[in-house]
Amino acid sequence: MAEQTMHSISCGQYSMEMRSGRIIKADEGFLALLGYSEDDIAGGLVFKKIVPDVQYNEIIAELREQFINTRYACYQHEILTKDGSAIEVVSFITLQNKLLDGHRVLEVGIAKIGDAKSSQE
């Protein structure tokens, strides 16, 4: 029998208001992975800033359609760190049963799966 090894990967979690994409809170893993601070989150960090090449309205429409049948989704994509570097992640998105100011909240877990080219190139 082959010996199996587990490897730790960089990961984190954040909550996002679905309609606006505003990041409501983030854990230490998210902050360390992307280089943001609690002040950045409090200052109004939005999904479009960390994933600028995604058509946000199309993604939200796709998620709403998917959430009719299931309460989760999974995507592989690039995400930008605070310094503008791009990293490849997989995002696990779960629709929560709670509302914030009348809007749905998404819980998103991210795990770094590789490095992507820098957006500054």
The residue ranges of every structural domain in the chain are 11-115
E-only strand ranges, 29-68: none
pLDDT digits (tens, 9 = 90+) for 47-99: 999 998 888 888 888 888 888 889 899 999 999 999 999 999 999 999 987 77
Q: Give the domain 11-115 fold.
A: Beta-Lactamase (3.30.450)
Least confident of 37-41, 87-91, 111-115: 111-115
Question: CA–CA distance from 43 to each of 17, 23, 25, 46, 85 (Å)?
Answer: 15, 10, 11, 10, 21
* pTM of the predicted model over 0.85: no
